[in-house]
Amino acid sequence: MSAKRNKDIKVLQGNEACAIGAVAAGVNFFAGYPITPSSEVAEFMARHLPLIGGRFIQMEDEIASIAAIIGASIAGSRSMTATSGPGFSLMQENLGLACLAEIPCVVVNVMRAGPSTGLPTQPAQADVMQTRWGTHGDHAIIALAPSTVLECIELTVCCVSLAEKYRTPTVLLLDEVIGHMRESVTLPPPGSYHCESRGTPGADLDDYCPAACEGDTVAPLGHFGGPHRFHVTGLTHDKHGFPTMVPDEVDQKIHWIVDKIESRADELAMNDEFMTDDCDVLLFAYGSTARVAKASVRQLREQGIKAGLLRVKTIWPFSGKRLHELAPQLRGIVVPEMNMGQLVLEVERTIGGGVPVRRLGRVDGRLFTPDQITDFVTEELSA
Amino acid sequence: MSQAIETARTYLKPHKKLPTVWCGGCGLGVIMSSLLRVISKMEIPKNDIATVSGIGCTGRMPTYVDSNTLHTTHGRALAFATGVKLANPKLTVITAMGDGDALAIGGNHFIHACRRNIDITAIVANNCIYGMTGGQYSPTTPHGKRGTTAPYGNVEHEFDASALAAGAGASFVARTSVYHVRELDKMLEQAIRHRGFSVVEVMSNCYTSYGRLNKYKSPVDMFRWMKESSVTLREAERMSPEELEGKFTRGVFVENYMPEFIEVYDNLAERLTSDSTTVATQLRETVERYERLGDRLKAVG
């Protein structure tokens, strides 16, 4: 290996990688509140943002943190916050405002075991449904889940890019293991990623419609202090951004914020597959669980069981496309999750009874072991 | 009068239908028109102003003011405003909140905004009641007064919003009422010019919810109450605690020069990036490494 190439190899922690990805994607504003196991993201941003012309602030709570990043985004920043379960619960209120008002921002949620204070230092994947449905009212969300430290960089960049492109909050769902894990990362070669921006409103200053919701195009978002003056509200609003109670306008708005994301589920789907070509037993997993599942696939293959792994990086919007494609060759799907069964509900809904879907939950604050998943699969097969 | 019409034409949103959502006799229109006069007098370009609010009757103010406007969730105006100001410090950021918005659900944000001293002006329209939801008692409803959730008189004791702001470290704190309009204009201007966090508590009247529950015969009666029950700081100094009972003091309570948050932050950032002898060097190298990664992304972005 050449000396030049070695420079691109680093040992990074997941949370740190996530912050690096954010800086790389142009995030220049961070507001947060300390919480285990996400604090390293805030600490990195506090150290680095003042050095690159950005600003960091530690707010009084998570409600204020997400409020501040939404405010900063409206004033033209690329903004981010990081938290964990209890803080994520507090953020739900303003997450809804960002969904409805279509304000780009990124929330990193390093999932820990709950409910309530739960196990602050132990991993879980228990916020999957909270991410999708946590805030009140109909809405949609984009959520990505990395399984490696390198993916923490990549998917943070994706979160920023998708937030900007679709004018929506995006959530990076880490679990405690991915957030605190250190592994060597080979920095990607130039041109590996693409980062979108929210666009620039047209020259017509009098007829700027920041909340237009027609056709296929997300309206560009101006910024406070720019040439366009505009109104942003958490009330249901018309295309100019002003409150409306006209049923047709309200209906159009709600459909718009949901459809602009849900209709693109297949387009936004990012998967990684391992030995799925000929598999007849599919492990469906994400985050740190997918790393364990990969080891299980190897173990099962050694036993002569044709197992494969479908690892989803895009959690929301949920795409069933790949599952549908694989279904005809499958005799069973096993979904290990560090919760009592959350994303498995989407798998079951997608498969619709065609192939048996088995849940394997773990909620004791510990990671799965490959043996646990392997044994579960063999037991299910013999049953 | 023509001056007033001109100000209204310039600083009210052109395509926003009037009248406002506020009831006849409400004090909020007085506060908004004062704000418009002050902005007009100070000749702040409309694009350089961000008016931010939370929920409630006062929360509706940005809907009408023709600046950049942000109508947020209940109690959170100052938290949103903090982000707006930090992202674009050139903006004149003004928040308008009611007493419930600023001091109950937003109480935590309020005290911390006071402590941080970011250059934001907070108008607290204090009408001692939750007006929009129909008259429930608020953190400023005086002890013994009625609300729909205090049907036999308020058991709790009220906040003194200005004292709270001063105690939490706000660098400018003033109080007046919607009856004392010239004083209101003056204080709002002082507050907006003040470099740091400024609070203007404006005693206001909600005849519909508070007035009727508390035996005021008309909005005029409530304005009379504000006239008769308020004393200036100078008058208050000569009065005993007994004489001050049931009255409120008007005036500028705090006006301190304190380093403003963004000023301090940016100075620090400049020191860090220009200092070649300390830990900054090391940090800068780290950042440059990551920036190279950023450049790679930007090259394709």
Cβ contacts of B85 on chain A, cutoff 8 Å: 71, 75
Give B149-197 pLDDT, tens digit per residue: 999 999 999 999 999 999 999 999 999 999 999 999 999 999 999 999 9
**Residues A178 and A287: beta-carbon distance below 8 Å:** yes
pLDDT of residue B287 exceeding 70: no
What type of residue is B145? K
Give the Cα separation of B235 and B215 in Å (integer): 28
Give the Cα separation of B84 and B92 in Å (integer): 10
What type of residue is B189? E
Give the Cα separation of A211 and A239 in Å (integer): 4
Question: Which residues form the domain of B296?
Answer: 263-300
Give A147-198 pLDDT, tens digit per residue: 999 999 999 999 999 999 999 999 999 999 999 999 999 877 666 777 899 9
Of A253-257, B54-58, B141-145, B269-273, the least confident = B269-273
Give A217-236 pLDDT, tens digit per residue: 999 999 999 999 999 999 99
Give the Cα separation of B280 and B181 in Å (integer): 52
Give the Cα separation of A310 and A312 in Å (integer): 6
Nearest CA in chain B to A92: B73
pLDDT of residue B108 exceeding 50: yes
Give the Cα separation of B221 and A307 in Å (integer): 81
Q: Quick one: B219 and B87 in the same domain? A: yes
In this prediction, residues B61-85 reach a mean pLDDT of 97
In this prediction, residues B72-84 reach a mean pLDDT of 98
Identify the band that residue A283 occupies on the pLDDT scale cut at 50, 70 and 90: very high
What type of residue is A144? L
Q: Quick one: B269 and B157 in the same domain? A: no
Determine what percent of chain B is predicted with pLDDT higher than 70. 90
- Comparing CB atoms, the residue among B47, B72, B284 nearest residue A229 is B47
Q: Quick one: B225 and B283 in the same domain? A: no
Q: Quick one: B150 and B122 in the same domain? A: yes
Provide the pLDDT for residue B299.
44
Q: Quick one: B275 and B234 in the same domain? A: no
Provide the pLDDT for residue B285.
63
Interchain CB contact of B45 with A (< 8 Å): no
Of A232-241, B10-19, B23-32, B290-299, the least confident = B290-299
Q: Pick the closest to residue B260 from B131, B82, B33, B46 (CA basis).
A: B82
Write the DSSP string, chain B. Answer: -HHHHHHHHHHB-TTSPSS-SSPTT-SHHHHHHHHHHHHHHHT--GGGEEEEE-SSTGGGHHHHBSSEEEE-STT-HHHHHHHHHHH-TTSEEEEEEEHHIIIIITHHHHHHHHHHT-SEEEEEEE-SEETTTT-EE-TTSPTT--BTTBTT---S----HHHHHHHTT-SEEEEEETT-HHHHHHHHHHHHHSSS-EEEEEE---IIIIIHHTT--SHHHHHHHHHHHEEEHHHHHTS-HHHHTT-EEEEEEEE-----HHHHHHHHHHHHHH--SSHHHHHHHHHHHHHHHHHHHHHH-
Q: Quick one: B177 and B78 in the same domain? A: yes
Give A46-67 pLDDT, tens digit per residue: 999 998 899 999 999 999 999 9
Q: Quick one: B210 and B284 in the same domain? A: no
Interface of B with A in 99-138 (CB under 8 A): 108-109, 112
In this prediction, residues A25-36 reach a mean pLDDT of 96
Provide the pLDDT for residue A19.
95
Instruction: Give the list of residues 6+ apart from residue A332 with CB closer than 8 angstroms, or none.
Output: A280, A281, A282, A355, A356, A357, A358, A377, A380, A381
Q: Quick one: B295 and B147 in the same domain? A: no
Question: How many domains are contained in chain B?
Answer: 2
pLDDT of residue B261 exceeding 90: yes
In this prediction, residues A81-92 reach a mean pLDDT of 98
Identify the band that residue B301 occupies on the pLDDT scale cut at 50, 70 and 90: very low
Q: Is B109 within 8 Å of A230 when comparing Cβ atoms?
A: no
Give the Cα separation of A304 and A297 in Å (integer): 10
Q: What angle is formed at CA B158 by the lines to CA B154 and CA B162, rounded to 5 degrees?
A: 160
Q: Is B272 within 8 Å of A50 when comparing Cβ atoms?
A: yes
Q: Quick one: B165 and B40 in the same domain? A: yes
Identify the band that residue A124 occupies on the pLDDT scale cut at 50, 70 and 90: very high
Q: Nearest C-alpha of chain A: how many angstroms from B101? A: 14
* Domains of chain A with CATH codes: 3-186 (3.40.50.970), 270-382 (3.40.50.920)
Q: Quick one: B282 and B178 in the same domain? A: no
Interchain CB contact of B1 with A (< 8 Å): no
Cβ contacts of A226 on chain B, cutoff 8 Å: 47
Identify the band that residue A3 occupies on the pLDDT scale cut at 50, 70 and 90: very low
Residues across chain B: 301
**Residues A174 and A146: beta-carbon distance below 8 Å:** yes
Cβ neighbourhood burial of A343 (10 Å; 0-12, 13-18, 19+):
buried
Interface A-B, measured as beta-carbon pairs within 8 A, has a size of: 193
Determine what percent of chain B is predicted with pLDDT higher than 90. 84
Q: Quick one: B213 and B175 in the same domain? A: yes
- Comparing CB atoms, the residue among B83, B286, B294 nearest residue A75 is B83
Provide the pLDDT for residue A186.
84
Q: Quick one: B6 and B128 in the same domain? A: yes
For tokens 């006799």, the residue is B25
Bigger pLDDT: B42 or A7?
A: B42
Give A310-336 pLDDT, tens digit per residue: 999 999 999 999 999 999 999 999 999
Provide the pLDDT for residue A52.
87
Average pLDDT of chain A?
Answer: 95
**Residues B204 and B177: beta-carbon distance below 8 Å:** yes
